[in-house]
Chains A and B, each alone.
Chain A
C-alpha cells in the first residue's frame, strides 16, 4: 500500500511539476497587464450595449447587462483590493461579456468565439484563479446545467436529446484551448524562472560581496583608528623630548658661546625643528587622508600672515644669499575669513621648496586676488630662480612621498609630503596649487584659495599721519623687486622716493647736490656694498643730517657693521617694521633691530608682572619652561602633578598657570576642571595648556575644561612671550 501511495504521490508530483506554478507576476507587472484588461472590459461594456440595441434586444436589458459588466470593471479597478481578487472580478466581467454576446446573438456559434478569445486574454494574468474561474464558469453552464437542465442552455432539439454528448463536445473544445494555453504559459514561466534565478544568484553574490565589503570596511576603519591613535601617541612621545631639545638649545644659543659652539647649537636646533616639521607633515597628511582635518573659519590679517611665513624662512634664504620678497597687488583686502594658520603652512611649504631648490637669485611671493561674488579668490605665487623641474616630473609633484627623482631626496632631503599637503589644504579651502616651470630658469608654484573678505584695520595706514609725508628718501637696492616694494611703500606713506639699483648712480646724485632725509641702503650689492656706500655718501655736501638705514639678510655680520647706521633691518622687511624704523630714525631715536634682538626679552616681567605656577611632571620639560620664564624675568612656582597644581592654586593667588596636559595622577584637563570648580577662589587664574598633543581636538578639549590658551610643545620663546603678553594680571 505504501509503495502504491508513494508511486501515486510521485506521479502527482511529476504531473504538478509539468504545470505552471502561476501567480508569479510582480505587483508592478500585474498592474501593467491588469490595466490593459480593464480598458478591454470597459470597451466591451459599451460594445455590448451597442450590439444589444443592433440585435433589437429589449433596451433596458441591454443597458442593465452592459452596466453589470461596467460595474465589475469598476470593482476590478479598486487598487485597495488584492490583485488576485481584482483579476478574478475582471475575468468574471470578460466571461459575462461572452455570455451576454451569445445571449444577444440568439446562441450563434460565431458568438462563442468571443469566449475562446477571452480565455486567451485571461492567460496574461498567469494565475490559476482567474484561469480556473473561466473554465468553471463554462463547465457549470454547459457541463452541469447543460447536462442536467438542457433547456436552460441549448435551443437545439438535438442537443436536448443528447445533453451529455453536447457537453463533452463543448468540454473538448475548451480543454483543447486550455491545454494549448497551458503549454505556452509553462514555456514563458520556465524562461522567467530561469531569468529570476539568475538575478537572484547575482543578487546573492552581490549581497555576499556587500557583506565582505562591510567587513573589509570595518577592518579598514579599525585599522585607521588604530593608526590615528598610534600617530597621536607617537606625536606626543616625540614632541615631549623634542621640547626639551629645542628649548634647551634655544637657551644655550642665548648664552656666551664661541663661534663653533654657536654653530653646533644652531645646527642642533635647526635639526630639531626640521624633525618636528617632518612629524607635523606626516600627522597632517594622515589627517587629510582620513578626512579628519577641520579648517578654522576666523578673520585673519592676510599681509601679516604672509609676512610671518616669509619671516620664518628669512634665515634660510639669507644663508643662501637669496632675496626673499613679498609683492601684494594694490587694493587687496587686508583681512580674510578662513584658516590663516593653514594658509601660512601652505606658503611655508612652497617657500621651503623654492629656497631649497634655488642656489642664487631670488624668491618672490606675488599675491593677487579676484573677487568672486561674496568671496575673493586669492592667488599666492611663489616664483624662484632655481633649478626648475623637467616636464616629465611635474605630474609626480603633488603625489605623496614622491619627489621629482630619487637624487632630489638624497641631495635636498624632505619627505615629499609638503606639496601633497599644500594641494589638499588648498582644495579644502576651495582652490588648488598649480605649477609652471622651466628647467634651469626656475619655477612658479601658485596656491589659490577662496575666502570672504573682512574689514581689518591696516596698521601701516598711518604712515602719512606719522610725519613721513614729504620726507625725501633714497632707495638703493640692486634687487628690482625689493626696490619696487620699498618705493611703493614710501610713496604710499606720502614720502618722495628716488630709487636706483646702482650705488654709483646714487653717489652721482649726491655729488650733483641732491640731498635726502633718509637713505635706505641694501648691504649686498655687487659694485659697492651698503656700508661703503653710506661712508661715501656721508662725505657729500648736505648729507650730514641724513639718516641711514641698512637692509640685509645676513644677520651675523650686521652686529659688526651696524655701528654707523641709525637702524638695521632684516630682509625681507615687514611693512610695519619698515614704518616703525622710519618713524624711529627720523625722530632721532635709535630702535632695536630684529638682527640684534635676543629671543628673550628680559624686561618683560618688569613691564608685565605675573605670578606664575608652572605645572609639568617631566623634569626636563619643567626645567626648559622654568629657564625660559627666567629669561623673561619671571620666577615661577613649580608643581609636578595635577594634585599639586590644584593645591597650590588653593593656597596662593596666581595670575597664570602653565599646565601640562599629560600627567600620571590627574591630568591637566581634570586639574583645570577642579581649579575652575573651586568656589573659594577670589579670582580665577588664567590657565594656559602646554602639551605635546598637537591636534585641534586636543585644543578644544582644553578649552572645554576651562583653559584659556594653548601652547603646543615644543614651546618656542616667541610663542611663550606671545602667550604671556595675552595675559592680563589681576594687578593691572
Chain B
C-alpha cells in the first residue's frame, strides 16, 4: 500500500500541471494510501488506546482499504481501455507505463491481503 501510495505521490506534481483536479486526486490518493499503509504496519487500532469493539473497527478498516484499492485498479483499467472519465483529457485513453504497473500490482496485492485479513477476523459463531 505504501509503494502504490508513493507512486501516486511521485506523479502528483506532473498531474497538477495537467489539471488541478487530477493533481488533487493523486495527492489525496497518495496521502490516504501511505497513511493507510502506516496504520497497518504500526497497528494503529490498538485496544490499549481505543475503547469499544476493536475487532469490528479493524474489519471496517480492512474492508474500506480493500474496496479503495480495488476502486483505484478499476479506475486505472477504465482510463487504459475506455478513457479518462472527466477533466480536460476526458475520453482520452492513456498508455500503460512501468510505474503504473508497479502501482497496480501493489494495489491488487493489497486487495488480496486485506480480504484475507477481513475474512480471518470475522466473528466466530459458537455451536
**Which residues of A pack against B, CB within 8 Å?**
60-61, 64, 68, 71-72, 75, 79-89, 92, 103, 129, 133, 140-141, 145, 149, 152
Segment of B42-50, B77-85, B88-96, B109-117 in the binding face: B42-50
CB of B64 within 8 Å of the partner chain: no
**B5 to nearest A CB, angstroms?**
10
A152 to B98, CA, bound (A): 15
**A87 to nearest B CB, angstroms?**
8
Supply 14 further A-B pairs (C-beta < 8 A) apart from A64-B27, A149-B10: A61-B20, A64-B24, A81-B39, A81-B49, A82-B44, A84-B43, A89-B38, A92-B35, A92-B38, A103-B13, A129-B41, A140-B6, A141-B10, A152-B10
Let me know if A82 and B49 touch, CB within 8 A: yes
Of the A-B pairs whose beta carbons lie under 8 Å apart in the complex, a sample of 15, sorted by A's number, is A60-B20, A61-B16, A61-B20, A68-B31, A79-B49, A80-B49, A80-B50, A81-B46, A83-B49, A85-B38, A85-B39, A87-B42, A89-B35, A89-B38, A149-B10
For residue B44, which residues in chain A have a CB less than 8 angstroms away from its CB?
A: 81-82, 84-86
For residue A84, which residues in chain B have a CB less than 8 angstroms away from its CB?
A: 42-44
Let me know if B38 and A81 touch, CB within 8 A: no
- Which 8 residue pairs spanning A and B have beta carbons closest together? A85-B44, A85-B42, A82-B46, A84-B42, A88-B38, A80-B50, A81-B44, A82-B44
Partner of A81, one of B10, B24, B50: B50
Interface string of B5-42 (1 = CB under 8 A from A): 01000100110100010011001000100110011011
A375 to B31, CA, bound (A): 74
Number of interface residues of B (CB under 8 A): 25
A83 to B46, CA, bound (A): 9
A79 to B45, CA, bound (A): 11
A692 to B53, CA, bound (A): 65
The residue on A at minimum CB distance from B34 is: A92
A83 to B45, CA, bound (A): 10
For residue B14, which residues in chain A have a CB less than 8 angstroms away from its CB?
A: 152
For residue B51, which residues in chain A have a CB less than 8 angstroms away from its CB?
A: 80
* A interface secondary structure, majority: helix
For residue B49, which residues in chain A have a CB less than 8 angstroms away from its CB?
A: 79-83
A149 to B98, CA, bound (A): 11
For residue A89, which residues in chain B have a CB less than 8 angstroms away from its CB?
A: 35, 38
Partner of A68, one of B6, B27, B45: B27
Partner of A82, one of B6, B24, B45: B45
- With contact pairs A89-B38, A133-B38 given, residues A81 and B45 touching in the complex (Cβ less than 8 Å): yes
For residue A82, which residues in chain B have a CB less than 8 angstroms away from its CB?
A: 42-46, 48-49
For residue A64, which residues in chain B have a CB less than 8 angstroms away from its CB?
A: 24, 27
A81 to B50, CA, bound (A): 6
A379 to B49, CA, bound (A): 62
The residue on B at minimum CB distance from A75 is: B35
A80 to B54, CA, bound (A): 11
For residue B41, which residues in chain A have a CB less than 8 angstroms away from its CB?
A: 88, 129
The residue on B at minimum CB distance from A83 is: B49
A64 to B23, CA, bound (A): 10
For residue A80, which residues in chain B have a CB less than 8 angstroms away from its CB?
A: 49-51
For residue A87, which residues in chain B have a CB less than 8 angstroms away from its CB?
A: 42
A82 to B23, CA, bound (A): 31
Let me know if A129 and B27 touch, CB within 8 A: no
For residue A75, which residues in chain B have a CB less than 8 angstroms away from its CB?
A: 35
A75 to B51, CA, bound (A): 17
**A52 to nearest B CB, angstroms?**
13
Let me know if A85 and B50 touch, CB within 8 A: no
A235 to B39, CA, bound (A): 74
**A483 to nearest B CB, angstroms?**
83
A89 to B13, CA, bound (A): 21
A88 to B5, CA, bound (A): 15
A60 to B19, CA, bound (A): 12
**B20 to nearest A CB, angstroms?**
6
For residue A81, which residues in chain B have a CB less than 8 angstroms away from its CB?
A: 39, 44-46, 49-50
A71 to B41, CA, bound (A): 20
**B68 to nearest A CB, angstroms?**
16
**A139 to nearest B CB, angstroms?**
11
**B115 to nearest A CB, angstroms?**
22
A306 to B86, CA, bound (A): 107
**B6 to nearest A CB, angstroms?**
5
**A136 to nearest B CB, angstroms?**
8
A133 to B42, CA, bound (A): 11
A86 to B27, CA, bound (A): 20
The residue on B at minimum CB distance from A140 is: B6
A103 to B9, CA, bound (A): 13
**A129 to nearest B CB, angstroms?**
6
**A66 to nearest B CB, angstroms?**
12
Let me know if A88 and B42 touch, CB within 8 A: yes
A124 to B45, CA, bound (A): 23
A88 to B41, CA, bound (A): 10
A87 to B34, CA, bound (A): 14
A80 to B34, CA, bound (A): 19
For residue A68, which residues in chain B have a CB less than 8 angstroms away from its CB?
A: 27, 31
**B30 to nearest A CB, angstroms?**
9
The residue on A at minimum CB distance from B99 is: A149
A71 to B99, CA, bound (A): 27
A86 to B6, CA, bound (A): 19
The residue on A at minimum CB distance from B98 is: A148
Let me know if A145 and B45 touch, CB within 8 A: no
The residue on A at minimum CB distance from B13 is: A103
Let me know if A129 and B42 touch, CB within 8 A: yes
For residue B50, which residues in chain A have a CB less than 8 angstroms away from its CB?
A: 80-81
The residue on A at minimum CB distance from B38 is: A88
A81 to B16, CA, bound (A): 32
Let me know if A72 and B31 touch, CB within 8 A: yes
A81 to B42, CA, bound (A): 10
**A79 to nearest B CB, angstroms?**
7
For residue A141, which residues in chain B have a CB less than 8 angstroms away from its CB?
A: 10
For residue A88, which residues in chain B have a CB less than 8 angstroms away from its CB?
A: 38, 41-42
A510 to B104, CA, bound (A): 136
A75 to B45, CA, bound (A): 13
Let me know if B27 and A145 touch, CB within 8 A: no
**B101 to nearest A CB, angstroms?**
14
A284 to B5, CA, bound (A): 82
User: By CB atoms of chain B within 10 A, which of A71, A89, A92 has the most?
Assistant: A89
For residue B10, which residues in chain A have a CB less than 8 angstroms away from its CB?
A: 141, 145, 149, 152
A88 to B46, CA, bound (A): 15
For residue A103, which residues in chain B have a CB less than 8 angstroms away from its CB?
A: 13
A88 to B36, CA, bound (A): 11
The residue on A at minimum CB distance from B44 is: A85
**B57 to nearest A CB, angstroms?**
10
A83 to B42, CA, bound (A): 9
**B19 to nearest A CB, angstroms?**
12
The residue on B at minimum CB distance from A151 is: B14
A86 to B31, CA, bound (A): 14
For residue A79, which residues in chain B have a CB less than 8 angstroms away from its CB?
A: 49
A152 to B99, CA, bound (A): 12
